[in-house]
Amino acid sequence: QELVDAKDYNGALRLLEGLYNPDKLTEYEQGNVLNYIGFIYYNMDNMPAAIRTYEKLLAIPSLEQQMAKQVTFTLAQLYMVMEQYPKALTTLDKWFTMEPNPAPEPFILRSQILYNLNRFAEMVKPIETAMEIAQNRGTPVKEDWWGLLNYAYFSQENYVKVRDIQKILLQTWPKKRYWKSLAGAYTELGEDEK
């Protein structure tokens, strides 16, 4: 911890790799050491090594459920960063089976993965679910969520939904580009006067 706080990641890594010995550590101890090694690789921006470490961690048979859930979500994010979108989606879907009460953000992550897989029609449900959860929890729905939803409907040529979303964006975050997008939606709907 002291080495990590001092940003001496290589020193911390050497120390942890010296500690990691499956023959001498319980599975619980192995899990903690691997979790820390993965965290250090992540902080060093060595995503492939972080992924390999977290995959090894998840292979521990008696891994504590909370750690398994946390590491599964982290892996989904890392796969996304590394543009391994099918793996990211599979891993995130596995995480959803482990988390009984997900926050809005994992649903947005799912829609972003679907976007990268060109599965635009499937993006709508997770975004709308995220918005519903946020509203139920009294937290704000973010501007970029609306933008993502707008793109999902635009890609399906659902200009009625695009128009409605542009009105929300314009009222909540007034910007020039939303005026132009709203005008474009009206044009697509044959409502040129509007």
Banded pLDDT at 22 (limits 50, 70, 90): confident
How far is the C-alpha of 61 from the C-alpha of 42, rounded, in Å? 24
Give the Cα separation of 184 and 159 in Å (integer). Answer: 9
User: What's the predicted TM-score (pTM) here?
Assistant: 0.89
Mean pLDDT, range 176-183, rounded to an integer: 93
Considering only CA atoms, give the Rg of the chain.
22
Q: What is the DSSP letter of 173?
A: S
Core vs surface per residue 100-111: b (16+ CB within 10 A) or e: eebebebbbbbb
Query: How many Å separate Cα 22 from the centre of its chain?
Result: 31
How confident is the model over 122-158, as pLDDT tens digits? 999 999 999 999 999 999 999 999 999 999 999 999 9
The size of the chain, in residues, is 194
Tens digit of each residue's pLDDT (9 = 90 or more) over 54-92: 999 999 999 999 999 999 999 999 999 999 999 999 999
